[in-house]
Amino acid sequence: MTRGNIVKCGIPEPHVVTGLGAEADGQKEKKRERNHKRHKHTGRDSYVPLVHLMVSFLFFQVDLTIIPRMDKRIGMGIVGAGFVGPHHIDAVRRLGFVDIVAVAGSNEESGRRKAEQLGARKGYGNYQALIDDPDVQVVHVATPNYLHYPVISAALANGKHVVSDKPLATTSAESRQLVEQAARANVVAAVTFNYRGNPLVQQARHAITNGDIGNPTFIHGYYLQDWLIKDTDYSWRLDPEKGGASSALGDIGSHWCDLAQHVTGLRITHVLGDITTVIPQRKKPRVAREAFQEAAGAADLETVDIRVDDLASVLVRFDNGAKGVFSAGQVCAGHKNDLVLEVCGSKASICWRQEQQNELWIGHRDKANEVLQKDPSLMDSNVRGYARLPGGHQEAWADAFCNLMREIYGFIAAGERPDPATRQIFATFEDGYRSTCIVEAILDSAKQGGVWMKVNY
């Protein structure tokens, strides 16, 4: 992504900096002129929250004349406010130009309570009431998976922009319908594959695009967690009526597949899957609880059969001929949220690990391997804007999530639609559709005894 595209997409660079030192006066003046022309061309400004401006000013020599402002405010509402919903609120609140208008819960009392907890102006007892609110321009969907399709479809029918958690829908057929409906509505339609927003993920993507590691030949990794390792661990994600046909693959394996394709620019064409249900029976609480929350005790539990996977291993083929392999598991002790992606190329390898997300490993044959620390002064100029803090100041999951929201809302504020030519970082509904196609192909492969399956997009 070029610096020009970053400005055009409404992503304010927190330190549109000159490195750690001062530029010559002539260079500064040229930069001011270029920036002025860009803002004049796009016909709008964007906003940098005060805290980012203060950090940038203190640690970098920032040319304050190029810090843009956002005058237009955008109203958002969110349907579902369980585990991830509040993180949507936190991320958009940091943008500084988004109003938290409403929260929709499962009933009126739940909606009012969640709205009060999250600082929203209104609480609704159903999603249609939120969608019908004229103050809501953007609908965020953070419900259990089975509700994604009806909520998104209703929002699109009302001409609202949509930001949905993955999966886009529980089947590829429904996902395809939403892609087509979003195109007709001519709105911004995004899926929160949030690991794309990490600064060093974008550094790796840029390095591969530039040919720094040569031609990708082998792509491998895993996404492992341990929050379902006990038979008393339970979530709606394990119920196929609510979570869909897959748990480990659909919930976290989909993240790995999306990240592998996003970073490399390649597409998965064939898969061979081996899936397992390590814990075939679990003790389900009679009262629902949040994701990652442990059982309180043995009382009020019922034993249920589990019909979805909690562990999977997959061979993959990419459209350039590269081979790959990954595992996804929710029953792997000690792995809390351990996503690893390594791309081996003809000249070098590059590896990013989510649990150590402020480091990027670069492997070589004929010289010492490297570990690049997350530091905007060391990153490529085209992607350093995704690093919101100076080197040594660690950034994490919530910061990457905010980077996605910053770019999504930049498109919304500009009245623009995502285009592959802009190389935006957030996933579109088309990406969400492809993700469901991949998961379905893996499940079909496993059902047929572990055979190669073509992914039909």
Closest C-alpha to 154, from 173, 136, 181, 179: 181
pLDDT of residue 290: 58
Question: Is 327 within 8 Å of 335 (Cβ atoms)?
Answer: no
What is the reported pLDDT for 51? Answer: 45
Report yes or no on 331 lying in a domain.
yes
Q: How far is CA 105 from CA 102, 123, 124, 125, 129, in A?
A: 10, 7, 6, 5, 11
Name residue 317's beta-bridge partners: 270, 323
Q: How far apart are CA 88 and CA 404, in angstroms?
A: 10
- Residue at a domain's end among 39, 66, 93: 66
Whether 414 maps to a domain, the answer reads no
Q: What is the pLDDT of residue 294?
A: 62
Of 162, 187, 212, the position where a domain reaches its end is 187
10 Å CB burial of residue 18 (0-12, 13-18, 19+) is middle
**Is 399 within the bounds of a domain?**
no
Indicate whether 303 belongs to any domain: yes
Whether 415 is in a domain gets the answer: no
Same domain flag for 20 and 81? no
- Identify whether residues 240 and 123 lie together within a single domain: no
Domain check: are 234 and 369 in the same one? yes
Question: How many domains are there within the chain?
Answer: 3
pLDDT of residue 419: 84
Answer yes or no: do 47 and 95 share one domain: no
Strands 370-373 and 359-363: what pairing? antiparallel
**pTM of the complete model:** 0.84
Tens of pLDDT along the chain (457 residues)? 333 333 333 333 333 322 323 333 444 344 444 444 433 333 333 444 444 444 444 444 333 332 334 668 999 999 999 999 999 999 999 999 999 999 999 999 999 999 999 999 999 999 999 999 999 999 999 999 999 999 999 999 999 999 999 999 999 999 999 999 999 999 999 999 999 999 999 999 999 999 999 999 999 999 999 999 999 999 999 999 999 999 999 999 999 999 999 999 999 999 999 999 999 999 999 877 656 566 556 668 999 999 999 999 999 999 999 999 999 999 999 999 999 999 999 999 999 999 999 999 999 999 999 999 999 999 999 999 999 999 999 999 999 999 999 999 999 999 999 987 778 999 999 999 999 999 999 999 999 999 999 999 9
Asked if residues 455 and 437 have their Cβ atoms less than 8 Å apart, the reply is yes
121, 152, 187: which is the final residue of a domain? 187
State the Cα–Cα distance between residues 263 and 191, nearest whole angstrom: 16
Q: Is 427 found in the same domain as 353? A: yes
Residues 13 and 90 placed together within one structural domain of the fold: no
Specify whether 252 is located in the same domain as 114.
no
pLDDT score at 355: 98
Two structure tokens written together for 284:
């389900």
The predicted pLDDT at position 293 comes to: 60
Q: Is residue 239 part of a domain?
A: yes
Q: 135 and 25, same structural domain?
A: no
299 & 445 share domain: yes
Rounded to an integer, what distance in angstroms lies between the CA atom of residue 321 and that of residue 235?
38
Q: Are residues 38 and 116 in the same domain?
A: no
Same domain, 80 and 116: yes
Domain range for residue 39? Answer: 3-66
